[in-house]
Chains A and B, each alone.
Chain A
Amino acid sequence: MKNIFSRPKSLKKAAFHYCAGCGHSITHRLIAEAIDELGIQDRAIGIPPAGCAVIAYNYFDVDMLEAPHGRGCAVATGMKRVLPDRIIFSYQGDGDLAAIGTAETMHAANRGENITVIFINNAVYGMTGGQMAPTTLLGQVSTTTPPGRSALLDGHPIHLSEILGQLPGTRYIERCAVNSPANITRAKRAIKKAFKCQMDGAGFSLVEILSQCPTNWKMTPVNACRWVTETMAKEFPLGVIKDLKAQAPTS
């Protein structure tokens, strides 16, 4: 009998701790599949964040180095400069990447560090219990915006991927989702492309994933998937934000 579905080699035999319907689990699997298909398990090094994915090193069967909250891109920079032929990816939530780690992210991108960032945008601080994230939508209720996020008091949802797209140092940025089979397929293709970008030495690549957090959104997994398309993707449109892959790298 032909085996057509199994655990990717780059995932350890461990059960995820993520809540039912969580986008982290799906994204982990996609990353592992991409690593397998590109044949880079031996030389990939992951940088997990502080956030719900903090123990990602229990799941990925590749070398991993935990970064302090938000510092993934700086840690990745140090690693990649020392080991230029390894494939370094940081895995970061919206709070991690787009609030506390904004400076590290912007400047790694601006230097054009040849690293790959997987950016999990779930519009909340998942791990700490559902506080407002920099990406929380206007009107969205969180534990620190009980009446809903107010533009006046709390500011607007930040579009970091678009901002990073403005920097000459970035090569490839795409926003995807993992709320439907079609979106999952696209997300996998984007992650693979981002790794390929790094393997070709082309520069900074980032894939933003709109990722369900049913627990803190207080929704069923099915409704959470629906909310991604119907509400979240209206604020954060899916698609390629930047792709200079076709051009030769600048010196």
Chain B
Amino acid sequence: MQGNRVIGEAAIRAGCRFYAGYPITPQNELTEYMADNMRRAKGGIFIQAESEIAAINMVLGASAAGARAMTSSSSPGISLKQEGISSLAADELPAVIVNIMRGGPGLGNILPSQGDYFQATRGGGHGDYRTIVLAPASVQELADLTMDAFELADRYRNPVIILADGMMGQMMEPVEFHAPPPRRYPECYVLKGMGQGKSKFIRALILDAIRMEEHNWKLYRKYQVIAQKEVRCETFWTDDAEILIVAYGTAARIAKGAIKRSRELGLPVGLIRPITLWPFPTQVLQGFAARVDDFLVFEMNTGQMLEDVQLALGNTARIQFYGRPGGVIPTPAELAKVIAYQLRKK
């Protein structure tokens, strides 16, 4: 099944009942899948919005009204959604936002890229907030992480970003959907009309500086808990590695291919693959730095996750970077050459 469609199917199975989106390549199959299948799901709502701004704000309304809600787009459209994502974070409302990244900046192109790492992992919109960022590297993981994204969004009442790229979205692989747990989202956070009780409101505006500060610290404490509990990371062939590649998503798949080639030549190379880009697996990297001196950050951009690796490792290791921006898909053979060169330099 194709990656984009898998996200849609996983979302519906996870109980997503509201989807709004605006067409953009390379994620159109997801929007179309939702158009085809959302109305089939019990109570499912699909809206083709007039813009990404409208779509994310529809999601905001639907989420406040108690529905599991999702929107998807690709890089330029995600820029437009940032106002809404910031509002969701401020309002502490759950939502899942899928970014099938393409080459940028600006209109860029429609080819796979990882240029939106900074935007996704630093909040992305205005204000002091974070989103949980999940980076799948296979179609199976697109399914699993999409389901988990709804759980995480509910648990922390926070937007969750699925950060994949055009390659992931277009790729076909076999997939199995596991049964997600039933939703448990406290009614007290839902606006349904006051009924016989007291009225509630949800808002992002807090004019008083001290109360705004309190709200920011409250969010901060929540992010601290997320950072402690939700880090996910895969390691591959790390046991005897003398050089570790750090890569995520499509780049991590390419890296695995390169590592297999290199291992055949006897080169001791392994992979650290962050699955959560925020929270970043800082401690995992630090653990490896105790015995590995060389890290090679590999991204489909000019070096963004690189900064998180530098922050994690400081001067405790040598950090090199290899990247191809703009929608170029590097090959495993190309990366294997870089690995061989790095090891020869040692």
Contact = CB atoms under 8 A, between A and B. Distances in A.
Chain A complexes with chain B: yes
Interface of chain B: mostly helix, strand, loop or mixed: mixed
B64 to A, nearest CB: 5
B84 A71 contact: yes
Interface string A40-60: 011111011010001101001
Interface in A59-115: 60-68, 71, 74-83, 86-87, 103-104, 106-107, 111
B271 interface: no
Contacts of A75: 57-58, 60-61, 64
A54 B206 CA distance: 10
Nearest to A62: B199
Contacts of B47: 77, 81, 111
Given A71-B54, A86-B192, A63 B205 contact: no
Given A82-B66, A82-B67, A44 B18 contact: no
A78 B65 contact: yes
B192 A78 contact: no
A45 to B, nearest CB: 6
B65 A54 contact: no
Contacts of A62: 193-194, 199
B193 A68 contact: no
A83 B57 CA distance: 16
A12 B207 CA distance: 19
A63 B201 contact: yes
A41 B199 CA distance: 9
Contact of B61 (A12, A50, A79): A79
Contacts of B196: 42
A79 B64 contact: yes
A66 B192 CA distance: 14
B53 A104 contact: yes
Nearest to A47: B61
A50 B83 CA distance: 13
B83 A78 contact: no
Given A54-B205, A71-B84, A78-B59, A63 B192 contact: yes
A69 B66 CA distance: 22
Contacts of B87: 68
B62 A107 contact: no
A78 B57 contact: yes
B63 to A, nearest CB: 8
Contacts of A83: 65-66, 192-193
B199 A63 contact: yes
A79 B47 CA distance: 12
B58 A63 contact: no
Interface residues of B, number: 41
Interface string A98-134: 0000011011000100000000000000000000000
A55 B205 CA distance: 8
B194 A41 contact: yes
Contact of A66 (B18, B55, B59, B202): B202
Interface in B159-196: 191-196
B69 interface: yes
Contacts of B256: none
A234 to B, nearest CB: 33
Nearest to B17: A82
Interface string A166-197: 00000000000000000000000000000000
A43 B54 contact: no
B72 to A, nearest CB: 15
A57 B194 CA distance: 13
Nearest to B20: A78
Contacts of B204: 66, 68
A98 to B, nearest CB: 16
A39 to B, nearest CB: 12
Contacts of A103: 50-51, 53-54
Given A71-B53, A78-B20, A107-B50, A42 B58 contact: no
B17 A63 contact: no
Given A66-B204, A81-B18, A43 B58 contact: no
Those 3 A-B pairs whose CB atoms lie nearest each other, nearest first: A78-B61, A74-B57, A57-B201
Given A44-B193, A71-B53, 16 more contacts: A12-B199, A43-B195, A63-B192, A63-B201, A64-B199, A65-B203, A66-B201, A66-B204, A66-B205, A67-B61, A76-B61, A78-B60, A78-B63, A78-B69, A79-B65, A81-B47
27 contacts: A12-B199, A41-B194, A43-B193, A64-B201, A65-B60, A65-B191, A67-B57, A68-B83, A71-B54, A71-B57, A71-B84, A74-B55, A78-B62, A79-B61, A79-B64, A81-B58, A81-B62, A82-B18, A82-B45, A82-B61, A86-B193, A87-B193, A103-B50, A103-B53, A104-B53, A104-B57, A107-B54
